[in-house]
Amino acid sequence: METYAYALTAIQYREKMANYNYSPPTQAWMESGKRTEVMGHQVFVYEKGSGPDVILIHGFPTSCHDFRDLIGILEGAFRCVAFDFLGFGLSDKPAAFSYSLFQQTDLIEALAAKKGISEAHIISHDMGTSAHTELLARQQEGRLGFKIQTSTFLNGSMIKDMATLTDFQRMLEDPQRLPEAMQTCANMVEPYVPGLKKLMKKPEVISEEDETVMQELLLYQNGNQRIPNVYAYVRERYLHKERWLGALQNEKNPIQFVWATGDPVANHAMGKKLSEMVPQARYTEVEDSGHFIPIEAPATVAEAFKTFIGSDS
């Protein structure tokens, strides 16, 4: 996503964070979930409700905070389990870690086992859609640790060569510009949310409190400095395109795409192409949303999910 660089040195940044006090909204968010050990790391888990299990998988560069309003709607009928990937939000952000999508998918499996999840519906967004397709591939190979009942995909650049990249994404993907990207991310200590808002049709849904929380979650454990590390997942989307798109095409269990047509990155044309490539999937377009559809249109996503589950029960 597009972000901004600010003129603050790395030394000034470390001094700032050494004495950092999180705001009351961020503290409230921290207390609403729990950090639990998974695969030797502390992972933030946000769990609400009771009923059939729903696992929600967030995207780059945010966190499961994106799903808070969607979960608020679904928790009356479902047990919603959301989490922060390693390198994101309130989960650990280790320096010596590859942040491969395969490792992140291992994390989902390990978390599901820890939570006693034997079967679940899955909702994924952005980067999370690729981890989701890897889960499908493993299930089709007969080696997934739980059963995926249904799959709901929200906007994500699964057909990577169709994505409309931002300037910031182009910088992260260019090896020759990696030092520049690392410096940009290290200096990213002021609100980066304005850059995310450029990808939305309804940026006004992000309140001042939300913006504060999102910024502080990025800064937690120097997360801004991990952005170049975690963004390495994009290369895997090119390398494993056939595996992950093939998993979509071969999926026998119910599957749907809920696609925001106002997304400037995972664009409308990509959503239409996916619907053509996966004809067995239900395809729903959402016209009043941009890229961050879980934040911009949670009620619409919840209704599409509940209708989908009801029709496929």
User: What is the C-alpha to C-alpha distance for residues 63 and 84, in angstroms, rounded to an integer?
Assistant: 5
CA distances from residue 272 to 100, 158, 250, 254, 289 in whole angstroms, order as listed: 28, 12, 18, 18, 16
CA distances from residue 184 to 86, 105, 106, 172, 177 in whole angstroms, order as listed: 21, 28, 30, 10, 11
Does the structure show a pLDDT above 90 at 3?
no
Read off the pLDDT band of 8 (50, 70, 90). very low
Percent of the chain with pLDDT over 90: 87
Read off the pLDDT band of 187 (50, 70, 90). confident
User: Average pLDDT of 270-297?
Assistant: 98
For residue 120, is it left (φ>0), alpha (ψ between -120 and 50) or beta?
beta
Map tokens 């390398």 to a residue.
239
pLDDT tens, position by position, 100-159 = 999 999 999 999 999 999 999 999 999 999 999 999 999 999 999 999 999 999 999 999
User: What is the C-alpha to C-alpha distance for residues 211 and 262, in angstroms, rounded to an integer?
Assistant: 21
User: Average pLDDT of 75-99?
Assistant: 97
User: Average pLDDT of 89-108?
Assistant: 96
Side chain identity, residue 236: E
Name the residue with higher pLDDT: 272 or 7: 272
Does the structure show a pLDDT above 80 at 254?
yes
Does the structure show a pLDDT above 60 at 43?
yes
Does the structure show a pLDDT above 80 at 191?
no
Q: What is the per-residue pLDDT for 1?
A: 41
Q: What is the per-residue pLDDT for 5?
A: 36
3-state SS record for the chain: CCCCCCCCCHHHHHHHHHCCCCCHHHHHHHHHCEEEEECCEEEEEEEECCCCEEEEECCCCCCHHHHHHHHHHHCCCCEEEEECCCCCCCCCCCCCCCCCHHHHHHHHHHHHHHCCCCEEEEEECCCHHHHHHHHHHHHHCCCCCCEEEEEEEECCCCCHHHCCCCHHHHHHHCHHHHHHHHHHHHCCCCCCHHHHHCCCCCHHHCCHHHHHHHHHHHHHHHHHHHHHHHCCHHHHHHHCHHHHHHHHHHCCCCEEEEEECCCCCCCHHHHHHHHHHCCCCEEEEECCCCCCHHHHCHHHHHHHHHHHHHHHC
Does the structure show a pLDDT above 70 at 189?
no
User: Average pLDDT of 160-167?
Assistant: 93
Read off the pLDDT band of 192 (50, 70, 90). confident
Does the structure show a pLDDT above 70 at 313?
no
Instruction: Tell me which of 177-186, 254-263, 280-289 is least confident.
Output: 177-186
Does the structure show a pLDDT above 70 at 294?
yes
pTM of the model: 0.92
pLDDT tens, position by position, 63-77 = 999 999 999 999 999
Do the Cβ atoms of 63 and 84 come closer than 8 Å? yes
User: What is the C-alpha to C-alpha distance for residues 225 and 159, in angstroms, rounded to an integer?
Assistant: 27
Read off the pLDDT band of 13 (50, 70, 90). very low
